[in-house]
């Protein structure tokens, strides 16, 4: 008699199709492959207000749409709590939960005997957007997650070492894929009055730890004469955002979010270089996407960025003048930029493949399910 399909619930994200974050992209690409490549039955819990169309299935994955409260720090835990209540009455073999902040709310599943596999994300308590109370909460739930989850997933070797040394907890290191759907379009170049290889690109949420302010400061100091396009916004306007947006000028253009995959891919593929300021967390999906399209990476120097990009990037510190020096040194060197971009593309194609990622998750999930049995 053939073994029945493994039944997996995925909680904590916004849902599928992906429309906001790297977590959502992970959920979509992983869930579809768990169904297609590994014959699993996967249910993804979606936040209702993000979707005008709510099909019951997406790429073979069952979608459950539940209402979620709206508000900073509230939406995720409220939706996860409702998802847990719904999942309690289904026969799932395990629950895959993204974001350790959800750890206190999945206990009902554990009490019923459903294993929980947690994606640890980055170091959420270090994000400067959070207040002192929120930081203490994120630090606490990080430890709670490390102590109570059935299994942990980290997305970089540096994050894996962090959990081993800080919480004495082993984890399975599984990254992200670099492939993106939607093709490549040059429509964005016309939309933003850009020429191929004649603009620099930043794609990031405008949060302090993503260092957009540092990138803009160093770019302006370099006086390159080419435009800097900053794609991304912020859900909550603060004094930081006002100060950052005040730096806009003819050569620094804040254009908000670009949600058409082909247009965004085209911006990556045609930029002179991609400036990457993220430093809190593990493997960054936006960085992988830039690499996949051959964008030369100029990144803030931290262990996560070096681990991911390796020879496909050049690195600079946040001290005044370091980014400026690197930009000036490379701006006129077409051969050097082409070599960096080629190395980035090769690295993404060999080390960051969604099929490999899904295979790793499938093996982990089967192992967890066997232990439960």
Task: Name residue 96's beta-bridge partners.
Answer: 10, 117
How far apart (Å, rounded) are the C-alpha atoms in residues 85 and 90? 10
User: Could you tell me if 5 and 43 are in contact, meaning their C-beta atoms sit under 8 angstroms apart?
Assistant: no
Domain definitions of the chain by residue range = 7-177+353-372, 187-351
Query: Which 3 state secondary structure label does DSSP give 274?
Result: strand
Residue with the two structure tokens 């070096």: 306
- The verdict on domain 7-177+353-372 having CATH code 3.40.50.2300 is no
Task: Name residue 97's beta-bridge partners.
Answer: 11, 118
User: Could you tell me if 203 and 286 are in contact, meaning their C-beta atoms sit under 8 angstroms apart?
Assistant: yes
pLDDT in tens, the chain (373 residues): 357 899 999 999 999 998 777 789 999 999 999 999 999 999 999 999 989 999 999 999 999 999 987 766 688 889 999 999 999 999 999 999 998 889 999 999 999 999 999 998 755 545 555 566 667 888 888 899 999 999 999 999 989 999 999 999 999 999 999 998 889 999 999 999 999 999 999 999 888 889 999 999 999 999 999 999 999 987 667 788 889 999 999 999 999 999 899 999 999 999 999 999 998 778 999 999 999 999 999 999 999 999 999 999 999 999 999 999 999 999 999 999 999 999 999 999 999 999 999 999 999 999 999 987 6
Rg (CA), the chain: 21
Identical topology for domains 7-177+353-372 and 187-351: yes
| Residue 227: Cβ-neighbour burial (10 angstroms; 0-12, 13-18, 19+) | buried
Q: Work out whether strand 57-58 and strand 61-66 pair parallel, antiparallel, or are unpaired.
A: antiparallel
- The verdict on domain 187-351 having CATH code 3.40.50.2000 is yes
Neighbour count for residue 158 (Cβ, 10 Å): 18
User: Could you tell me if 101 and 72 are in contact, meaning their C-beta atoms sit under 8 angstroms apart?
Assistant: no
How far apart (Å, rounded) are the C-alpha atoms in residues 58 and 204? 27
User: Could you tell me if 202 and 251 are in contact, meaning their C-beta atoms sit under 8 angstroms apart?
Assistant: no
Query: Which 3 state secondary structure label does DSSP give 66?
Result: strand
What pTM did the predictor assign? 0.91
Query: Which 3 state secondary structure label does DSSP give 318?
Result: coil
How far apart (Å, rounded) are the C-alpha atoms in residues 103 and 140? 10
- The dihedral over CA atoms of 271, 301, 73, 141, expressed in degrees to the nearest 10, equals 140
Which residues are CB-contacts of 158 (< 8 A; sequence separation ≥ 6)? 282, 303, 304, 307
């Amino acid at each position: 008699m053939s073994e029945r399909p493994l039944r997996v619930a995925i909680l904590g994200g916004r849902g599928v199709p992906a429309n906001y974050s790297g977590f959502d992209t992970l959920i979509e690409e992983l869930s579809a492959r768990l169904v297609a490549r590994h014959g699993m039955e996967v249910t993804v819990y979606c936040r209702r207000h993000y979707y005008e169309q709510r099909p019951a299935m997406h790429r073979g994955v069952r979608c459950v749409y539940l209402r979620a409260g709206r508000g900073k720090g509230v939406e995720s835990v409220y939706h996860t709590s409702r998802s847990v209540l719904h999942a309690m009455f289904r026969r799932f073999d395990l629950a895959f939960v993204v974001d350790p902040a959800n750890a206190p709310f999945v206990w009902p599943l554990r009490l019923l005997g459903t294993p929980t596999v947690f994606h640890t994300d980055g170091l959420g308590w270090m994000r400067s957007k959070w207040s002192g109370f929120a930081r203490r909460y994120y630090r606490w739930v990080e430890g709670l997650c490390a102590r109570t989850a059935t299994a942990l997933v980290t997305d970089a070797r540096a994050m894996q070492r962090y959990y081993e040394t800080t919480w004495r907890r082993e984890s399975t290191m599984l990254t992200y894929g670099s492939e993106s759907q939607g093709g490549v379009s040059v429509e964005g170049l016309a939309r933003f009055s850009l020429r191929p290889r004649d603009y620099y690109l930043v794609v990031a949420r405008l949060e302090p730890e993503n260092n957009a302010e540092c990138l803009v400061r160093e770019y302006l100091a370099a006086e390159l004469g080419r435009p800097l396009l900053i794609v991304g916004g912020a859900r909550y306007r603060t004094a930081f955002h006002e100060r950052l947006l005040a730096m806009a000028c003819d050569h620094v253009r804040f254009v908000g979010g670009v949600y058409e995959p082909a247009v965004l891919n085209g911006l990556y593929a045609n930029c002179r270089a991609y400036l990457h300021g993220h430093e809190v967390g593990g493997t960054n999906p936006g960085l992988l996407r830039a690499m996949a399209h051959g964008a030369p990476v100029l990144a803030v120097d931290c262990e996560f960025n070096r681990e991911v990009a390796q020879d496909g990037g050049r690195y600079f510190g946040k001290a005044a003048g370091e980014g400026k020096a690197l930009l000036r040194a490379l701006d006129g060197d077409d051969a050097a930029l082409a070599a960096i971009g080629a190395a980035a593309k090769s690295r993404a194609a060999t080390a960051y493949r969604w099929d490999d990622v899904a295979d790793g998750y499938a093996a982990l999930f089967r192992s967890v399910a066997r232990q439960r049995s």
